[in-house]
Amino acid sequence: MPTDAALPLYPEIEPYETGMLPVGSGHTLYWEQSGNPEGVPVVFLHGGPGSGASPTHRRFFDSEAYRIVVFDQRGAGRSTPLGSLTDNTTAHLIADLEALRRHLGIARWLVFGGSWGSTLALAYGVAHPASCLGFVLRGIFLGRRAEIDWFLNGIRTVFPENWRKFAEFLPAEERGNLLAGYYRRLVDPDPAVHMPAARSWSTYEGSCSTLQPNPSLVGSFAEERHALGMARIEAHYFRHDCFIDGEVLLRRVELIRQLPAVIVQGRYDMVCPVVTADALAQAWPEADYRIVPDAGHSAMEPGIAAALVEATRGMQEKLPVKDE
């Protein structure tokens, strides 16, 4: 698979402004702005929950056309404290998005999110439709129990060797409930307990995220901050059905159907299978639904990356630069 440099993304850029925003309960969010300060505002919502954002994520957007806001959600990436589960729910993340929007003086923004980021984008959009210009969504996930069960167990029908390694991290007597076994270790304060569990969870997800094997991506999933933030926070959210009702979320899409939207989905996405994107497209027939025929889950799949760049390029022609 191509490296980041070979992907069909815009050139690398650096932020023109960064900051840390306190949002309560001890949480402080890392945020950054890059691109054109007078451009169309867009906010990037990373996946996981808990995976954090990276410099590559700025590159889905034309820096001359967009005011690019990237931030790390509670407990993730450069936000502090890393891996904190205190007051870390979907409702809190929605409130954080509104706090960041107001802090940056943005009236409305395009909302871009993949995987868990698509869940948060939809939940935020139906809660605050007046704050949104439109949506670019990828690898759709709605947080429903069947989707969580698929991640924890169903993937073994396609990646049995990856799942076996994931399951066999736990003692045999705990493998009947992988989520409980992992959660108990992930919340243990001892790094000697929680870090091996975090790496096992995170590399399992990374190893199932691409159509073709991608050792460099799997390696990035094993990096300590990424692994701990994502594994601990994902397990926390999964234990609580992501603090949302995915069926209600689908019905509430009615509140944002008038806004432009693009849905990008890999045909062979094994982390968030296409059936969920199809359900969203049925609930949102006005959305531009694009299935990438030769891709899995990761935004770093060449076909997915190209479709996302095409989507943001198309959006910049539809959206006002100045939002009065």
The string of pLDDT tens digits covering residues 230-243 is 999 999 999 999 99
Q: Mean pLDDT over residues 136-148, rounded?
A: 98
Q: Which residue pairs from 1-8 have beta carbons closer than 8 angstroms and sit at least 24 positions apart in sequence? A: 1/210, 1/212, 1/214, 1/216, 1/217, 1/300, 1/301, 1/302, 2/302, 3/216, 4/56, 4/300, 7/59, 7/300, 7/302, 7/305, 8/302, 8/305, 8/306, 8/309
Rounded to whole angstroms, the Cα distance separating 4 from 111 reads 23
**Last residue of one domain, picked from the residues 241, 262, 282:** 241
Parent domain of 205: 146-241
Same domain, 48 and 182: no
pLDDT tens readout for residues 81-127: 999 999 999 999 999 999 999 999 999 999 999 999 999 999 999 99
Asked whether the bond before 49 is cis by omega within 30 degrees of 0, the reply is yes
Same domain, 128 and 258: yes
**Last residue of one domain, picked from the residues 241, 269, 303:** 241
Q: In this model, does residue 317 exceed pLDDT 90?
A: no
Same domain, 126 and 267: yes
Same domain, 129 and 272: yes
Same domain, 28 and 138: yes
Catalytic residue selected from 46, 63, 297, 298: 297
Q: Taking all residues of the chain, what is their mean pLDDT, rounded to a whole number? A: 95
Q: Mean pLDDT over residues 127-147, rounded?
A: 98
Same domain, 136 and 151: no
> Is residue 252 situated within a structural domain?
yes
> Is residue 324 situated within a structural domain?
no
Containing 69, the helix (H) or strand (E) segment is strand 66-71
pLDDT tens readout for residues 49-71: 999 999 999 999 999 999 999 99
Domain count, the chain: 2
Phi/psi for 261 (5° steps) reads: -150, 145
Tell me what pLDDT residue 318 has.
83
Same domain, 269 and 176: no
Catalytic residue selected from 62, 72, 96, 269: 269
54 among known catalytic residues: no
Rounded to whole angstroms, the Cα distance separating 284 from 260 reads 10
209 among known catalytic residues: no
Catalytic residue selected from 79, 84, 115, 207: 115
> Is residue 323 situated within a structural domain?
no
DSSP string, 91-108: HHHHHHHHHHHHHTT-S-
Q: In this model, does residue 2 exceed pLDDT 50?
A: no
CATH of the domain at 62: 3.40.50.1820
Give the confidence band of 321 by pLDDT, cuts at 50, 70, 90: low
Same domain, 99 and 152: no
Same domain, 106 and 75: yes
